[in-house]
C-alpha cells in the first residue's frame, strides 16, 4: 500500500479563514514531503464550505510544487465540464512541467446541482461532457496539430504548449465507481481509478474493483499495472479515545458540510445521476460509530489504524493507494500533523513489514 | 520608480524545454524576492512560442507564491474571455489567499486570432466580453449572494469561496493604452493601467497616460493614487557592447516569435481591433537599433540603463512601475540573473538617489 494526503476542506470563513487553512495545508505538504509520503491531492468544489475553498486544485498544487521536489501532486478531481479543454490541458501541462512530471491528473463529473447551475451546464450532459472533454485533453497532450470536432467544443489544428513532461501524457485517473459500467469504461480507456469508499457498501466497491481489474486485463493491459486510489478520512492519536473524539467531531462537521451542499438534490432528478436524489438525506442521523465499524474511516490509535488498514487490504487488495483526509480544517493543524507523523512513523512501516511477500488478493 | 520582472517566454520546445524554462524562472523569482524587487508577473498565451509556455499565469504565480513571502504576483495579463468568471475569480482568490494578499490582477483582451478561434470566441465580441467578465469577477470577489445576468454568462445567487484576502478585492489592472477611450474607461472604472510602450510612439503613450491621469482625478479619485505599469525588455551587462549583443539577439528572437503568432492577422480585420491587420508586417525589418534609440528597450551597461530610465521617468512620470522582461528564454539564466542583479545593485539604488525630491512630471 502507498499513502498520501488528500485535502478536502469543509470549513468556511466562519470556521477558519482561508489564508490560515492554506498555510496549514502547505505546512502539511512540507511534512508529507519530508516523511516520504506518496502524494498530496486537493479537490475542486465551489460556493459551499464543502470543498469550496478549492475551486481550482491546480492553483494549490502549483504552490505545493513550488516548494517540494519529490512528492506527487494530484487533482482529486478536477472537473472538465466547467472549463475549456485547451485551458484545462494547458494549466495541467504547466503544473506537470513546473513539478518535473509529478502530476497525477484525476478527472471527475461533479455532482452538486448548484455548481452545474452556476456554470450554465445541464447535469443531463454530465456523462457526455466528461467523456468528450477528457478525451480532448488527452489528445491535446499527446498529439500535434490537433483537430477536435466535438458536441461541446471544436478547435484546431492547434498544438498545445507546453508539451507535457510525462510522455505520452500524465497518468489519467477517473473519479468514479458508483456504477459497474463506469468502472469497466475506465479500464477500457486505460484510466486509473480514484474513489471514496464511503459512498457505497464494501461489497459494492469490491464488485466494482473486480470489474475494473478484470476489464483492465481483458483490454490487453498487464494485470497489476492498474492503479486504484481510495480516500479515507483519517485521525490518529497515541490515545485511542482522543482519536475517536477528534474523529467524531471531524466526521460530524464534514457531514454537516455535505448536507448543506447536497440540499438542492431534494427536489430534482437527473438521468445522468440515478439515485442521487437520496443524497439530500445525508446527515439526518449521526453515524460516526457505524461508519467506523463498517471500515469507512481510519480513526484510532496507531495499532487500531493498522488493523483497519489490514481489513482494507484484505477487501480491496494490498496494492491500492490510500489518500488520507487528514485536514478538513475543523481540527487544528497540530492534530493533522500528529496524524501524518504517526501514520508515517508508526503505522505505514509496520504495515509494510507485516505484508511480507506480496499476498494474493481476492478479486 | 518601482521595478519587478515580467516573464514573457518566446521559446518553444526546439529552443529550450519547458521544465528548464520554468526552473530558470523560479530561480529568478527567488533572486527577485531576495533583492527586494516589487513583483513578478507572467503572461497568458497559447500554442505559439510567443508566450505559449504560459497558458495559465495563475499556475506559475502559485508556484512562485509557494516559495516566497514578500514579492507581489501579477498576471500580465489573464484573459477573461477564455474562461468562466466563476472559475477565474475562484482561482485568483485562491492565489490571493495562498500568497497572503500579494496578487495584482491584470486583465487583458487578447489579440491573437488563433487563440480566439481555439476558444470559439468571436474577436468582434472582445470588448464586450472583457467589460462584462471583468465586472462579473469583481462582483464575485466583493459581493455575496451575487446574481449575474450578462450577455455571455448568467448565474446566481452564489457566494464565491474563498473570499479574497485583499478587501474589497485585489488591485485590478487593465492591459490597454492603444486607444484614449480605453484609458479613460479604465480610469472611470478605478482600474490601474498596465501597458507595453513598444506598441506605440512615445507621444501616443504620453497622451494616453495624460488622459488616464486626468480622468482618474475627474472621477473623484485622489491624484497620485493611480498606478501605471510599463513593461520593457531588459538586458544589462557590465560591458556595454556585450549587453547590446545579447539584447540584439534577444530582440530578434522575440520579433521572430511575435511575427509567427500574428501572421494570421494578414487576412482579417475586426471592428474590435482597428489597425491590427498591420501587425502582420512585424518583423519584416530588423529594428533593434531604432527601438533602442527610441527608448523602447532597456539595454546597456548599468550607467546607460540609468540614463534610459531617466528618460522614461521624464516622459511618463517618475511614479510609474517598470516590469523588466529579463528572460524570454533565448539568453541563459545566468545572463538574466546578471541583469536582475545589476538592476537591483547598480541601477535602481542610484536612480532613487538621483530622483531626490519628487519631481513634477509632464502631463
Q: Which residues 151-190 of A are in CB contact (within 8 Å) with B?
A: 153-156, 158-163, 165
Q: Which set of grid coordinates corresponds to residue A286?
A: 449521526
Give me the residue from A49, A91, A154 closest to B59, CB to CB: A91
Within a domain: residue A181?
A: yes
Percentage above 70 pLDDT, chain A: 96
> Position of cell 483497519?
A308
Give the pLDDT band (50/70/90) at residue B98.
Answer: very high
**How many domains does chain B fold into?**
1
- What span, in angstroms and rounded, lies between the C-alpha atoms of A292 and B2? 57
Interface of A with B in 41-70 (CB under 8 A): 46-49, 52-56, 58-60, 62-67
Task: Specify the pLDDT at position A352.
Answer: 67
For the segment A39-46, the average pLDDT, to the nearest whole number, is 98
**Does residue A178 have a pLDDT over 90?**
no
Note the pLDDT tens digit of each residue in B158-206. 999 999 999 999 999 999 878 899 999 999 999 999 999 998 999 999 9
Radius of gyration of chain A (CA): 20
Classified as helix, coil or strand, A198 is helix
In a domain, A361, yes or no: no
Note whether residue A362 is domain-resident: no
Residue B88 lies in a domain: yes
| pLDDT score of A361 more than 50 | no
Supply the range of the domain harboring residue A42.
2-355
User: Rounded distance, CA A321 to CA A323, Å?
Assistant: 7
| A286 belongs to a structural domain | yes
Q: What is the pLDDT of residue B210?
A: 97
Query: Using CA atoms in the order B5, B10, B12, B15, what is the torsion angle rounded to 10 degrees?
Result: -90
A111 contacts A276 by C-beta, under 8 angstroms: yes
> Which helix (DSSP H) or strand (DSSP E) does residue B56 occupy?
none
**Chain B: closest CA distance from residue A27 (Å):** 11
Q: How far apart are CA A168 and CA A37, in angstroms?
A: 25
Is position B363 within any domain? no
pLDDT at A46 over 90: yes
Q: Cα separation of A63 and B102, whole Å?
A: 14
| Residue A315 within a domain | yes
Which ipTM was obtained for this model? 0.96
φ/ψ of A78, rounded to 5, equals: -105, 155
Picking from A45, A90, A154, A165 by the largest number of B CB atoms within 10 A of its own CB, the best residue to mutate is A90
Query: Mean pLDDT throughout A68-83?
Result: 98
Asked if residue A47 belongs to a domain, the reply is yes
**Residue B322 sits at the chain A interface (C-beta within 8 Å):** no
Residues of B in contact with A117 (CB under 8 A): 155
Using a CB-CB distance cutoff of 8 angstroms, which residues of chain A are in contact with residue B159? 47
A119: chain B residues, CB-CB within 8 Å: 84, 86-87, 155
Average pLDDT (B264-270) is: 86
A155–B119 CB contact, under 8 Å: yes
SS percent in chain A: helix, strand, coil, step 5: 50, 15, 35
Judged against a pLDDT cut of 90, whether residue A353 lies above it is answered with no
A345: cell is: 512513523
Residue A100, min C-alpha distance to chain B (Å):
6
CA-based nearest distance B214→chain A, Å? 37
Residues in chain B: 363
Query: Structure pTM?
Result: 0.96
- Tens-digit pLDDT profile for residues A79-136: 999 999 999 999 999 999 999 999 999 999 999 999 999 999 999 999 999 999 999 9
Angstroms from B52 CA to nearest CA on chain A:
5
Beta-ladder partners of A146: A158
CATH for A192: 3.20.20.30
For the stretch B66-76, pLDDT in tens is 999 999 999 99
What is the SS3 assignment for A87? helix
**Pick from B67, B86, B93: which is nearest to A118 by CB?**
B86
Question: Which burial class, exposed, middle or buried, applies to B244 when counting CB atoms under 10 A from its CB (0-12, 13-18, 19+)?
Answer: buried
Amino acid at each position: 500500500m502507498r499513502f498520501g494526503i488528500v485535502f478536502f476542506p469543509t470549513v468556511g470563513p466562519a470556521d477558519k479563514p482561508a489564508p490560515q487553512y492554506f498555510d496549514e495545508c502547505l505546512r502539511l505538504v512540507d511534512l508529507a514531503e519530508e516523511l516520504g509520503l506518496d502524494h498530496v491531492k486537493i479537490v475542486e468544489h465551489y460556493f459551499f464550505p464543502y470543498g469550496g475553498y478549492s475551486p481550482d486544485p491546480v492553483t494549490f498544487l502549483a504552490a505545493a510544487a513550488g516548494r517540494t521536489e519529490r512528492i506527487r501532486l494530484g487533482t482529486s478531481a478536477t472537473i472538465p465540464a466547467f472549463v475549456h479543454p485547451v485551458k484545462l490541458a494547458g494549466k495541467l501541462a504547466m503544473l506537470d512541467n513546473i513539478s518535473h512530471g509529478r502530476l497525477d491528473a484525476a478527472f471527475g463529473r461533479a455532482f452538486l446541482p448548484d455548481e452545474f447551475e452556476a456554470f450554465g451546464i445541464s447535469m443531463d450532459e454530465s456523462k457526455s461532457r466528461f467523456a468528450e472533454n477528457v478525451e480532448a485533453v488527452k489528445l491535446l497532450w499527446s498529439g500535434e496539430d490537433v483537430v477536435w470536432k466535438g458536441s461541446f467544443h471544436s478547435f484546431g489544428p492547434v498544438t498545445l504548449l507546453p508539451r507535457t513532461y510525462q510522455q505520452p501524457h500524465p497518468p489519467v485517473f477517473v473519479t468514479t465507481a458508483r456504477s459497474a459500467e463506469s468502472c469497466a469504461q475506465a479500464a477500457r480507456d486505460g484510466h486509473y481509478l480514484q474513489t471514496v469508499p464511503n459512498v457505497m457498501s464494501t461489497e459494492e466497491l469490491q464488485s466494482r474493483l473486480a470489474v475494473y481489474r478484470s476489464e483492465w486485463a481483458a483490454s490487453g493491459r498487464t494485470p497489476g499495472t492498474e492503479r486504484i486510489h481510495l480516500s479515507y478520512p483519517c485521525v490518529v492519536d497515541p490515545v485511542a479515545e482522543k482519536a475517536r473524539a477528534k474523529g467524531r467531531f471531524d466526521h460530524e462537521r464534514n457531514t454537516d458540510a455535505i448536507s448543506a451542499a447536497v440540499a438542492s438534490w431534494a427536489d430534482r432528478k437527473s438521468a445522468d445521476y440515478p439515485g442521487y436524489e437520496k443524497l439530500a438525506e445525508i446527515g439526518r442521523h449521526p453515524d460516526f460509530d457505524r461508519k467506523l465499524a463498517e471500515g469507512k474511516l481510519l480513526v484510532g490509535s496507531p495499532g487500531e489504524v493498522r488493523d483497519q488498514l489490514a481489513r482494507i487490504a484484505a477487501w480491496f487488495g494490498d496494492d491500492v493507494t490510500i489518500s488520507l483526509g487528514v485536514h478538513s480544517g475543523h481540527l487544528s493543524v497540530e492534530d493533522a500533523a500528529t496524524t501524518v507523523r504517526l501514520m508515517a512513523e508508526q503505522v505505514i512501516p509496520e504495515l509494510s513489514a507485516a505484508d511480507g511477500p506480496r499476498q494474493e488478493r481476492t478479486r
